[in-house]
A and B are shown apart, each in its own frame.
Chain A
Amino acid sequence: MAEKPRKPSQVVYAPWEDPQAKPLIEFRGVTKKFGEFVAIDDLTLDIYEREFFALLGPSGCGKTTMMRMLAGFERPTEGDILLGGQSIVGVPPNERPVNMMFQSYALFPHLSVWDNIAFGLKRDKLPKDRITERVEEMLRLTRLEKFGHRKPHQISGGQRQRVALARSLAKAPKLLLLDEPLGALDRKLREETQFELMDIQEKTGTTFVIVTHDQEEAMTVASRIAVMDNGKVIQVDTPARVYEAPNSVYVADFIGDVNLLEGTFRRTGPERGEITYSENEPPIAAELFEDIPDGQTVSYAIRPEKIRVSAEKPEDRANSAWGTIIDIGYLGNVSTYHVQMAGGQMVKAAMTNSTRLDRRDFTWEDEVWLSWRETAGLVLTK
């Protein structure tokens, strides 16, 4: 999966790199227990204004609990949560400048689309014409002008999703929480909606925190991703860095496809090292910036698309290995080759299908060379 091109303004906007920047939300040593079960384990995390922040992880990793603590439905067992420098622990959900878009959308079935969107505004006792104005604005923003009088069960799934978004944005919250907002949509609609969400986020300038288990979704929409596991944040970084520079085997494995080769490390130069992973193969040469003692067991992680498949041994690559094609996964735009190496390890290599099917170069049982550059892979110790 290649990094999608970002707009220049978004590239420049990186407050997390500025030590002077004040975060909008601060989790400070937050722990949340449900009885004996530890849902969130001593977690510290900053989220900045106007960010599109994604909490990514498998179900049960604690991401929904974090979101519910931000919304005010759960109280941390220990630690503090700050919004704009003020603790919000103990502030009830109805008194927080935070709104949430629910996974089930939670549209009120007895109210029309219009009244659903107006619901929060009416609680604020705004004057009637102000409410009307704001609801119309929200309907325009989500392209629902024609559906204001309908009830939630009279519109399609995609429209319901937009009503839920409009309703949660209507009060112009400082922070919008989105709980698996696109989970109920089919693939095509989901992709369209992702871009729509980003658009709306940019237009309104609201800080978005999205919870998702779908890594592609997180990569597409988010400015930063927190990858979570078992109540802990493993890595917080931009999508590109999470993909290209994962800090652990867990993150590398969770985001995208990866080959992991376990071996013994030996230093060969100031920013150079090699990993012996098989008796039959030469060690892998790798670039690295970390201090790793010789002889330590490490994982060498390399993405399939970084490996080239060729019939002849290439001379221009630092690493190469010989193997037999066992399986080919044809995906249209790319093919994934499952290659068994001399030592028995299976390695996946992805090649773009730039030629038509009938002229494909390799087939089952072919013996091929796999090769990759020194900088293509990553040495991981965790």
Chain B
Amino acid sequence: MRRISWFNATSLTLGFAFLYIPMLVLVIYSFNANKLVTVWAGFSTRWYGELFRNEAFLDAAWVTLRVALVSSTLATVLGTAAAYVLVRGGKFYGRTLFSGMLYAPLVMPDVILGLSLLLLFISIGLDRGMMTIVLAHTTFSMAFVAVVVTSRLVAFDRSLEEAARDLGCTRWDAFRSVTLPIISPAVISGWLLGFTLSLDDLVIASFTSGPSATTLPIKIFSAVRLGVSPEINALSAILIGIVTVGVITTSLISKRAIMKRIAEENRADT
């Protein structure tokens, strides 16, 4: 086993301290009884209570969740199809344009995406609301799904698909019974990524939402624009908690799966 050098240990410690201290501070202050967020006045869960009585926040959370569910599912279907076409589809007319359009939203500033989509919706007379946010989120989440799925497809042994064809599958059968089950971890993480991005997005949602649909980030933003707010601290702590539990659980599950696999492979070789 390799021993870690002091330099590397310091880099990691400082790096992770930098990444985690701000979130930790936020969580701690969310239990502060004082309305002045930064002045500690004892432990309290008061702001959590206030948060759950705030109908506007709850409504926004519900809208956000629905938008995220629909848009990430749509993005997963479209993004997986796009990745498959790019990796396996060979040459076709407009391929460069296609991959350009697909990957550009990865880095395109949100303000440009949001503005352009809004102007589209207005010029075709589409009323802004949940539907328009879903369309917008699907478009940019699709790029992230495509990237994740592409990297899995590239590493995928093509002869597996050929073997399926050889054994009597049509192309679609081969995709459904061999390719999809094998790339499914990537498809799932693509979906999760799309889901999170949609939950998280402020700028595009601000452009494309209408008065009928306000998302949680829009609410948070208008609350914190001018200063810190204890209710938002509580909300942040809850969101951080959900993500932490989710990420730790999935990584534990996948770690166990990997360990099991390594053990089995060792057994098979002996």
A316 to B23, CA, bound (A): 97
Interface-facing stretch out of B35-43, B94-102, B161-169: B161-169
CB-CB nearest in chain B for A164: B163
Contact yes or no, B268 A171, CB < 8 A: no
Contact yes or no, A153 B264, CB < 8 A: yes
- Min C-beta distance of B166 to chain A, whole Å: 5
Residues 86-130 of chain A: 1 if any B CB is under 8 Å from the residue's CB, otherwise 0?
000000111000111011101011100000000110011000000
Contacts of A103 in B (CB 8 A): 159
Asked if A155 is at the interface (CB within 8 A of a chain B CB), the reply is: yes
Question: What is the interface residue range for chain A against chain B?
Answer: 20 to 34
A92 to B165, CA, bound (A): 8
Which of B157, B173, B267 has the largest number of chain A CB atoms within 10 A? B157
A71 to B268, CA, bound (A): 31
Contact yes or no, A106 B168, CB < 8 A: no
Asked if B269 is at the interface (CB within 8 A of a chain A CB), the reply is: yes
Asked if A268 is at the interface (CB within 8 A of a chain B CB), the reply is: no
Asked if A204 is at the interface (CB within 8 A of a chain B CB), the reply is: no
Contacts of A106 in B (CB 8 A): 157, 159-160, 162-163
Asked if A156 is at the interface (CB within 8 A of a chain B CB), the reply is: yes
Asked if A224 is at the interface (CB within 8 A of a chain B CB), the reply is: no
A94, A102, A119: the one contacting B170 at CB < 8 Å is: A94
CB-CB nearest in chain A for B177: A119
Identify which of residues 171-187 in chain B touch chain A, using a CB-to-CB cut-off of 8 Å.
173, 177-178, 181-182
Say whether, besides A153-B261, A171-B168, A123 and B173 are in contact (CB < 8 Å): yes
Contacts of A154 in B (CB 8 A): 264-265, 267-268
Contacts of A102 in B (CB 8 A): 159, 162-163
Asked if A63 is at the interface (CB within 8 A of a chain B CB), the reply is: no
Contact yes or no, B182 A110, CB < 8 A: yes
A106 to B163, CA, bound (A): 6
Contacts of B269 in A (CB 8 A): 156
Contacts of B163 in A (CB 8 A): 100, 102, 106, 108, 167
Contacts of A153 in B (CB 8 A): 261, 264-265, 268
A108 to B168, CA, bound (A): 14
Contact yes or no, A104 B157, CB < 8 A: yes
A120 to B178, CA, bound (A): 12
A109, A119, A151, A159: the one contacting B167 at CB < 8 Å is: A119
Contact yes or no, B165 A167, CB < 8 A: no
A103 to B182, CA, bound (A): 20
A377 to B140, CA, bound (A): 73
- Min C-beta distance of B18 to chain A, whole Å: 39
Contact yes or no, A167 B159, CB < 8 A: no
- Min C-beta distance of B174 to chain A, whole Å: 8
User: Which A positions have Cβ atoms within 8 angstroms of B?
Assistant: 71-73, 92-94, 98-100, 102-104, 106, 108-110, 119-120, 123-124, 151, 153-156, 159, 167-168, 171
13 contacts between A and B (CB under 8 A): A72-B166, A93-B162, A93-B166, A94-B166, A106-B157, A106-B160, A108-B160, A124-B168, A153-B261, A154-B268, A159-B268, A168-B166, A168-B167
User: Which B positions have Cβ atoms within 8 angstroms of A?
Assistant: 157, 159-160, 162-170, 173, 177-178, 181-182, 261, 264-265, 267-269
Known: A108-B164, A156-B268. 16 other contacts (CB 8 A): A71-B166, A73-B165, A93-B166, A94-B168, A102-B162, A103-B159, A104-B157, A106-B157, A108-B160, A120-B168, A123-B167, A123-B168, A153-B265, A154-B264, A168-B166, A171-B167
